[in-house]
Structure 1
Amino acid sequence: MTYLWIFIGGGLGSVARYGVSKAATNFYSGNFPLGTFLSNILACLILALLIVFVVPKNSESTWLQPLLLVGFCGGFSTFSTFSNETTQLLQSGNTGVALLNIAVSAVVGVGLIFWIRSLS
């Protein structure tokens, strides 16, 4: 049953990521991969909030963590797209934007999770 929860959550997370990416391209047309960045940062935010505020109150649940943490957050975030877009930026000569993407994604993602976990 665990695999089913992961499957459902992953599908929902992937659809959410697609929606965020499409929405971002409607508002921003620059070189920075904003849609992927927002998806990854929002996934970090959701994961941290779930770990700190939801999971401890639902420790008996056998479906919550596979559905939301592994499935949804895993499907919503995307390291492969981040890596591909960063490589494309490097290959097209946008080295500064590529390095900014790497630095900001890592610092904001880890910083956000660290900060929220410190609230517990």
Structure 2
Amino acid sequence: MRNVFFIFIGGGLGSTLRYAISYFFAKNQGNQFPWATFVANGLGCLVIGLLFGYFQKNNVQNDSLKLFLTVGFCGGFTTFSALSLENFQFIQNQHYNLATIYTTTSLVIGLLAVYAGFKLSN
């Protein structure tokens, strides 16, 4: 239950930062390219990569800290970072086919689900 609390707090912080980025770009960029999403995804991937590398290099065993920062904060900030980390781990373990399948199916299923949801709502 303690880990759920850490994920909850981290997710709230990540989501709040994601909102702040969206707010900033909405005020300063207009409605052209989706810069807020692009920046959040890039930053989220950078942060989760830094954390993953740090945890591995320093053999960090604190599961609560890992969950707070990765599942909570990065997950609240952008789930794209989790997808990217999982694919990186596939590549790191030389599971290239799984990385390709996971990336492709995630994108295709995601687009189809958005389309289905849109159609169902009309």
Which TM-score band (shorter chain)?
0.5 to 0.7
- Written as runs of structure 1 = structure 2, the 5 A alignment for 1:1-120 is 1-54=2-55, 56-57=57-58, 59-78=60-79
Q: Unaligned stretches of 5+ in structure 1?
A: 80-108
Offset of residue 77 of structure 1: 0.7
Identity of matched residues, %: 42
Offset of residue 54 of structure 1: 4.0
> Following TM superposition, where does structure 1 have runs of at least 4 consecutive aligned residues deviating by more than 3 angstroms?
none
Match of 2:119 in 1: none
Q: Unaligned stretches of 5+ in structure 2?
A: 93-122
Number of aligned residues: 85
Question: What is the CA–CA distance in structure 2 between the aligned matches of 1:68 and 1:55, rounded to whole Å?
Answer: 14
Offset of residue 24 of structure 1: 1.4
Q: What TM-score, normalized to structure 1?
A: 0.60
Question: What is the CA–CA distance in structure 1 between the aligned matches of 2:9 and 2:53, rounded to whole Å?
Answer: 22
Question: What is the CA–CA distance in structure 1 between the aligned matches of 2:51 and 2:42, rounded to whole Å?
Answer: 14
Larger radius of gyration: 2
Contact 1:55 1:65 in 2 (8 A): no
